A = this chain, B = another copy of it.
């Protein structure tokens, strides 16, 4: 019996409200004066809450595995991130705020340069984003559908774009149409299984037509397609956990991930204050709230230690407004670590704070990587966070008699 089936068989609906706050890329490693961002940040509210909560460190996927946003969020939403892998094409489309539905196949595209039958630049000289938009508009006008399959396009940055194929009988077992190296001829999209032959045929025809449409372009005169992936059709949180969940997130990728697990996704602003305003206005309508704060990760990726510290302090100063709502269960954590020192996501376990009437009061002196290690939750897998939240909301029946 899989974890999800077990949980599904045990969850009950009640009125209690769970709030999951994800400070993206929250965790850090020692850097300035040997301290992490959380250690340097002045966070009196978080520290006080941590002292009165159960804390621990959450491993996003497996020890040593650095997750992308997809698997890191799947874990926090209670879905085994190795079992439920979200394809690259889907993530790209979600990141561009495209609507992706069950049955769709999504693909990542690059504009590229074709000369004398060979791909001579896999990124078409990184054309400006503005140029990309023009080209996508041009293609969009001329290609609406192929073989009864709707072709939906969206520009990304520079040479990047995404395609969503919508129609009957589309499989995602298609090899990348990308020679990987420059100086080689284009590689046609090939089906790896019979269910994906239609997809490969449509993709092939798409490349042929685009290459015709763009034949006068000096650089962006063909496209490469990668990461064919189906909508993962995840069992929704409503079904698995009997929750009525809503996502408060301003970045497309996270809004998309939330949609994949069945969350309602609402309009909100970019600032933490905007998001808290939205949270408050929706408080009566849902029983599970996913609140996503992006900038902690962005500054970590930039290697901007101070800016990440400031963003954490900003959240701390707003924490009382969250506490005023009196969630029955409150979790504050990150989806993964993004240490400024590494300027990238990392594998380090993430501080995790769980507050409810049924948690221990760990008495930690602060909310940080080092302090959380001494908390009552110990070091655990982030995917177990959901059952802990449900248990603390008394939404799980006894297993067995």
| Chain A residues within CB distance 8 Å of chain B | 1, 3, 6, 10, 29-30, 34, 57, 61-72, 81-83, 85-86, 88, 91-92, 339, 341-342, 344-348, 358-361, 369-370, 373-374, 376-380, 384, 386-392, 396-401
Q: Which of A30, A85, A342, A376 has the most CB of B within 10 A?
A: A376
A–B pairs, 8, beta carbons within 8 Å: A29-B360, A64-B391, A66-B398, A68-B400, A71-B400, A86-B400, A344-B398, A377-B379
Q: How far is the CA of A10 from the CA of B345 in the complex (A)?
A: 14
Q: How far is the CA of A46 from the CA of B222 in the complex (A)?
A: 60
In angstroms, how far is the closest chain B Cβ from the Cβ of A28?
A: 10
Across-interface contacts of A71 in B (CB, < 8 A): 399-400
Across-interface contacts of A392 in B (CB, < 8 A): 64
Across-interface contacts of A66 in B (CB, < 8 A): 391, 396-399
Are A345 and B398 CB-contacts (below 8 A) given A360-B30, A376-B373, A378-B378?
A: yes
Are A388 and B68 CB-contacts (below 8 A) given A85-B400, A378-B373?
A: no
A68 in contact with B401 (CB, 8 Å) = yes
A358 in contact with B346 (CB, 8 Å) = yes
Across-interface contacts of A86 in B (CB, < 8 A): 400
Across-interface contacts of A347 in B (CB, < 8 A): 387-388, 391, 396
In angstroms, how far is the closest chain B Cβ from the Cβ of A86?
A: 7
Across-interface contacts of A64 in B (CB, < 8 A): 384, 386-392, 396
Residue of B nearest to A397 (CB): B66
B65 in contact with A6 (CB, 8 Å) = yes
Contact of A65 among B339, B346, B399 (CB under 8 A): B399
A68 in contact with B1 (CB, 8 Å) = no
Across-interface contacts of A401 in B (CB, < 8 A): 68-70, 88, 91-92
Across-interface contacts of A377 in B (CB, < 8 A): 379
9 cross-chain pairs, A with B, having the tightest CB-CB distances, nearest first: A64-B387, A64-B391, A68-B400, A378-B379, A63-B384, A71-B400, A70-B400, A68-B401, A64-B388
Residue of B nearest to A2 (CB): B82
Q: How far is the CA of A377 from the CA of B376 in the complex (A)?
A: 14
Q: How far is the CA of A344 from the CA of B10 in the complex (A)?
A: 16
Are A10 and B387 CB-contacts (below 8 A) given A70-B401, A376-B373?
A: no
Across-interface contacts of A82 in B (CB, < 8 A): 1, 6
Across-interface contacts of A346 in B (CB, < 8 A): 358, 391
Are A65 and B396 CB-contacts (below 8 A) given A342-B358, A360-B370?
A: yes
B398 in contact with A63 (CB, 8 Å) = no
In angstroms, how far is the closest chain B Cβ from the Cβ of A162?
A: 12
Q: How far is the CA of A374 from the CA of B91 in the complex (A)?
A: 39
Are A63 and B380 CB-contacts (below 8 A) given A70-B401, A71-B399?
A: yes
In angstroms, how far is the closest chain B Cβ from the Cβ of A222?
A: 24
Q: How far is the CA of A287 from the CA of B396 in the complex (A)?
A: 38
Q: A29-B360, A65-B387 are in contact. List 14 more A-B contacts (CB 8 A).
A: A6-B65, A10-B65, A29-B359, A63-B391, A65-B396, A65-B399, A67-B399, A68-B400, A69-B401, A70-B400, A72-B400, A81-B399, A86-B400, A345-B398
Q: How far is the CA of A30 from the CA of B64 in the complex (A)?
A: 32
Q: How far is the CA of A193 from the CA of B373 in the complex (A)?
A: 50
Q: Which of A34, A62, A377 has the most CB of B within 10 A?
A: A62
In angstroms, how far is the closest chain B Cβ from the Cβ of A20?
A: 14
Q: How far is the CA of A164 from the CA of B158 in the complex (A)?
A: 62
Across-interface contacts of A360 in B (CB, < 8 A): 29-30, 369-370
In angstroms, how far is the closest chain B Cβ from the Cβ of A30?
A: 6
Across-interface contacts of A30 in B (CB, < 8 A): 360-361
A398 in contact with B6 (CB, 8 Å) = no
In angstroms, how far is the closest chain B Cβ from the Cβ of A207?
A: 23
Across-interface contacts of A344 in B (CB, < 8 A): 398
